[in-house]
Amino acid sequence: MTTKLYWEDSHLTRFTARVTDSWLQDGHQIIALDQSAFYPTGGGQPCDTGSIKTSEKEGRVIDVEITDDERILHRLDTDIPLAVGDEVSCEIDWNRRREMMQQHTGQHILSQAFFQLFGAETKGFRITDRSTEIDLTLEAQPDEVEQAIARAEELANSVVFDNREIRVHNVTPEESAKLPLRKESFIADCIRVIEISDYDWSPCGGTHAKRTGEVGLIAVRGWERAKKMTRAHFVCGSRLLDDYHAANKTAEAIARKFSAGRDEAEAAVSRSLDENKRLSRRVRELAELATKAEARQLIESVGVSNGRRVISRVFDDRDFEELKLLAHRLVDGDGVIALLAVKESGMARLVFASSSDVSADMNAAMKIACEKLGGRGGGKSDFAQGGGAEVAELNAALEASRAVIEKS
């Protein structure tokens, strides 16, 4: 069993310890110590990182885990010759420890805010690479969830600004039963309880700040429905500062594109979207007119055979939706078969269509073409589409389809 120094002082970053076991595993040195301030992964909180060194060599701690018999194992990025009983000097990466403390303590504060205001319990907790997640028993309509989040944020940040003291209590199950715990503990012997003065009592084995002011601002970045609960994503402390810098940089970049100030960017974007919608409608109208004119020219450019006009064309880098529109316009009249293709990003894409008075099967013709292109496609007897990667076979594919159609 390893003595958990992080239980006694979450701000401890340097300590000495004695090796109780050491072995190589997959090229990494695994070290067990008699005492450790390294927090092992668990309870939704990632492990600490740092260094362990002797007078001769130093190794980076890249992973920490706790075993069933309460030993804390430290995985190093290299091998260090160690024997049981050797003394080592250890140092925690303070920036990471502080970041984890802020997120974990922030979770206590925010979870209690949701519980106090709405009776919503926290059923899940995870510190991820970018944010912290809590799963809440909060069932409401989206606008009601947004309002609940705003109220919980306000209460949580007022607790942060109060800079309340945070105390650690190690109590027995009998003693814990007399405390106003926010959640139940299932530990049978000694229970570690985190108290936020006049606000929250919660059993927890993680690392926490000494006062709520250390947490910094708390902000919920977003939420989603998950497992019939509300999953809130939040950041606080140093992560919130990083998030602000990233969001501000994005907002400033967008504003510059519209030659506007950051605060005017939203209005500028709205105006641009409205203008884009208007222009898109106009483009569609003009595309329809242009496509009708192009269809007439193509129809007039081919002769009639067996009472039908077969129009076979290959285009380079043409929009496929525009190609389908052209196919539809070609077959609006009588006696037309359209076999159209486009070369697009190393692929051949096809659309076949026929007028309503033509009996040729476009679906069967498409399958023949796609076989030669090494792809697939299909559709109805009067309209089909498909494609394949064998672009060099495109002309042969169209000829094969045309030959089948002309026999029908």
How is 55-72 classified by DSSP, letter by letter?
Answer: SS-EEEEEEEEE-TTS-E
Token couple for 239: 């992560």
Give the integer Cα–Cα distance in Å for 338 and 302: 11
pTM for the model: 0.75
Q: Give the pairing type, strands 14-25 and 28-33.
A: antiparallel
Q: Counting Cβ atoms within 10 Å, is residue 245 exposed (0-12), middle (13-18) or buried (19+)?
A: exposed
CB–CB of 108/202 below 8 Å? yes
In 82-201, which ranges are continuous DSSP H helix?
94-118, 142-162, 173-176
Q: How far apart are CA 4 and CA 36, in angstroms?
A: 6
**What does the pLDDT read at residue 187?**
62
Is 161 exposed, middle or buried (CB count within 10 Å of its CB: 0-12, 13-18, 19+)? Answer: exposed
Q: Token digits for 9? A: 């002082």
Q: Which residue has the tokens 């605060």?
A: 263
Q: Which helix (H) or strand (E) holds 88?
A: strand 87-92
pLDDT per residue as tens, the chain (408 positions): 999 999 999 999 999 999 999 999 888 899 999 999 999 999 899 999 999 998 888 899 999 999 999 999 999 998 888 889 999 999 999 999 999 999 999 999 999 999 999 999 999 999 999 899 999 999 889 999 999 999 999 999 999 999 999 999 999 888 888 898 988 776 656 789 999 999 999 999 999 999 999 999 999 999 999 988 999 999 999 999 999 999 999 999 999 999 999 999 999 999 999 999 999 999 889 988 999 999 999 999 988 888 899 999 999 878 899 999 999 999 998 999 999 999 988 899 999 999 999 988 999 999 999 999 999 999 999 999 999 999 999 999 999 999 888 877
Name the residue among 134, 269, 112 with its Cα closest to residue 181. 112
- The DSSP result for 127-147, as a single string, is E-SS-EEEEE-----HHHHHH
Task: Specify whether domain 3-92 bears CATH 3.40.30.10.
Answer: no
> Helices (H) and strands (E) in the chain — how many of each?
9, 20
Provide the pLDDT for residue 346: 85
Query: How many Å apart are CA 49 and CA 77, to the nearest integer?
Result: 11
| pLDDT at residue 184, rounded to an integer | 78
Q: Which residues pair with 379 in a beta bridge?
A: 384
The answer to whether residues 74 and 42 touch, using CB atoms and an 8 Å cutoff, is no
State the number of CA atoms in the 13 A half-sphere of 327 facing the CB: 26
Domain ranges of the chain: 3-92, 98-246, 298-407
∠ at Cα 105 (103, 108), nearest 5°?
110
Using the structure block, give the residue that is written with the tokens 């160690």.
82
- For 55, 81, 178, 282, the CA distances from 59, given in Å and listed in that order, are 12, 11, 45, 66
83 burial via Cβ count (<10 Å: 0-12, 13-18, 19+): exposed
pLDDT number for residue 237:
95
φ, ψ of residue 394 in degrees (nearest 5): -60, -50
What is the fold, at CATH topology level, of the domain defined by 98-246?
A: Threonyl-tRNA Synthetase; Chain A, domain 2 (3.30.980)
Q: State the Cα–Cα distance between residues 376 and 399, nearest whole angstrom.
A: 17
Q: Residue 330 and residue 337: Cα distance in Å, rounded?
A: 8
- The pLDDT value recorded for residue 140 is 87
- What region, left, alpha or beta, does residue 259 occupy, with left being phi > 0 and alpha being psi -120 to 50 degrees? left
> H or E stretch including 321?
helix 320-330
The top-level CATH class assigned to 298-407 is alpha beta
Read off the amino acid at residue 269. V
